[in-house]
Amino acid sequence: MSEEVLARMRRKFFPLYLIGLLASLIFLAHLVLNYIYTGKEQYLTLSMLTGLFSAYLAYSLAKLLRTKIPIYSYRKVVRCTQCGYEEEAEAKGGEILFENAGSCPKCGGEMIVQKIYRKKQLKGILG
Amino acid sequence: MNQGSFIDAIVWFIMLTILFYLNREIEIMRLVGEIEGYLRLYKAVRDKALATTLADFKSVISKKGVEGIDIKLVEKRIKDLVELVFISPTDLDPFGIVRKIKHLLLTSEKTLKKELKSFVPSASDAEIENTLNLLEATRALNFIYKVVNHIYMIGRKFKSLWILMQLDAQLPFITEEVRALEGAIEAFSKGLPVGDSVGPIVAASLIRKYCKQEEIIEEVENTIIAKGVFKNRIIYVIKAKGPGGTVGHLDDALEWVINNAGRVDAIITVDAALKLEGEETGSVAEGFGVAIGGIGVEKFNIEELATKHNVPLYAVLIKMSEEEALSVIDEKLYEGIEKAIANVERFIKTRTPENGIIAIIGVGNTIGVAP
Ligand SMILES: [Zn+2]
């Protein structure tokens, strides 16, 4: 589905964000340490800018990780017209609603396809 | 005047101008990147749709035997059919335009069916109909991709921020439609019922409840009419003939019912309706009028018939999103179907006279729904 194409496109950015975030954090630590030891104002200004940049990267990364893509499966419910016994199974395609679906294992009555539906499950982007 | 501050001001002014210019360029770059991402997506979806359509038709061919069939030629014809255009009649003089549209639709449908059938003479009607549905969805996806690409290229060529911004603003809605069509491709290639099938499912349930198998009449092409009895009233349930992917000719079927039964005391249409964002999927609304989407030919004809014979029009709508309408049906919609059946029964009990004749029309695509 199209969501998977989008996820694949976004997944490419994941290492980029991660490396960028790590690099900017190391740079930030370096600047902060410099400021603590030398007390020079320009280190503080730079570290503030770097801090903002790292925060932006962290936010983007979190957004990427929170993205969920839907995975669809198809199900069918067959029901006995006599006793109401129900069975659920995967729909492989070609099933027809209200068509005969064999005989009931409980009472031998006629079973029909009562429901066909799409089931949605959410999956993380990296999973 | 102080010399230094004057130069400073000039430098500031130039820097500010450059900044504004850069801002615009960055905005264009951002828009271009975003639109290109969507375009790649649309292209991927279209290519997959075309591949699915071809694979589906080939599987029909291989099921029936490949002798005497030129697969290459079939493939080429299917690719040509994706580029097919329908030229709607002129509305310069709108009198009689509905008849003209109906004529165009009927003849083109017949021609396409015949052509596909000529490739695989032993294919069933349902298989041909499903392939036609797949072709239609592929055609729509192809058209969307081409138009978006066209606007994007014009915007880029003239470096127009406004064109790109307008296109970018439309993309969420277009993507919704692309997703819906993508779901349709999946549903039609599997032959499973879609959200839009709720109307035919309600009709089929009513047929199973109140009509006998031998009272199903097939007078109109692709459409079934079932006669039954409910609470001392005669009901005629009309739906497209399943389980192929077809919407039937509901207006012709209604005309047949009126001509044969002599009169009709109420017409109830059941259809899927687009929900607004925030509305619950599967919620049911009742209304007056004819609940039918599409170009409007059948709507017009049913309204004409109802007005001519002075018949009240009742409607039951089952709400869903565009994506849900075209994808394989969601489980929540079955609750809507139950509610819609109850609504139809209530309408008959409370709004129609005893011994009356009532036409119930289940509107929508009947793919994967019998009978
Ligand atoms: Zn049973």
Report domain extents, chain A.
3-67, 70-123
Q: B interface mutation test: which of A78, A117, A118, A119 has the most B CBs within 10 A?
A: A118
Fold of A70-123: 60s Ribosomal Protein L30; Chain: A; (3.30.1330)
Global pTM reads 0.85
The rounded distance, in Å, linking the Cα atoms of B201 and B216 is 16
Q: Is the pLDDT of residue B43 over 90?
A: yes
pLDDT tens for B241-270 read: 978 888 889 999 999 999 999 899 999 999
Going by their DSSP bridges, the two strands A68-80 and A110-124 should be labelled as: antiparallel
pLDDT tens for B109-128 read: 889 989 888 888 888 888 88
Which residue type is seen at B271?
A: D
Structure tokens at A36: 């603590």
Ligand 1 centre to CA of A83 (Å) is 4
Closest Cβ opposite residue A74 in set B40, B41, B190: B190
Query: Band of the pLDDT at B213, cuts 50, 70, 90?
Result: confident
Complex-level ipTM? 0.80
Q: Are B249 and B197 in contact (CB under 8 A)?
A: no
Mean pLDDT by 10 residues, chain A (127 residues): 71 87 94 91 90 93 85 91 90 88 88 91 77
Distance from CA of B311 to the nearest CA of A (A): 32
Q: How many CB pairs under 8 A join A and B?
A: 79
- pLDDT number for residue B265: 94
Contact state of B369 with A5 under an 8 Å Cβ cutoff: no
Q: B interface mutation test: which of A2, A9, A95, A119 has the most B CBs within 10 A?
A: A2
Q: Where are the beta strands (DSSP E) in B197-281?
A: 211-217, 223-230, 233-240, 266-274
Q: Where are the beta strands (DSSP E) in A21-67?
A: none
Sheet order of strands, B233-240 included: B211-217, B223-230, B233-240, B357-362, B266-274, B313-320, B284-288
Q: Are B122 and B324 in contact (CB under 8 A)?
A: no
Query: Band of the pLDDT at B95, cuts 50, 70, 90?
Result: confident
Q: Is the dihedral of CA A16, A18, A23, A24 positive or negative?
A: positive
Cα of B280 vs its chain's centroid, Å: 20
Domains belonging to chain B, first-starting first, are: 21-190 (no CATH), 195-362 (3.40.50.1470)
**DSSP sequence for B54-95:** HHHHHHHHHHH--TT--HHHHHHHHHHHHT----PPP-SS-T
The rounded distance, in Å, linking the Cα atoms of B142 and B149 is 11
User: Residue B215, class by beta-carbon neighbours within 10 Å (0-12 exposed, 13-18 middle, 19+ buried)?
Assistant: middle
Question: Is the omega angle on the peptide bond into residue B371 within 30 degrees of 0, that is, cis?
Answer: yes
To 5 degrees, how large is the angle CA B176–CA A77–CA B244?
Answer: 60
Closest Cβ opposite residue A97 in set B175, B182, B201: B201
Q: Is the pLDDT of residue B63 over 70?
A: yes
Query: Band of the pLDDT at B138, cuts 50, 70, 90?
Result: very high
Contact state of A1 with B182 under an 8 Å Cβ cutoff: yes
Which residue type is seen at A108?
A: G
List, in order, residues 6 or more apart from B291 with CB less than 8 Å away: B269, B270, B271, B273, B315, B316, B317, B363
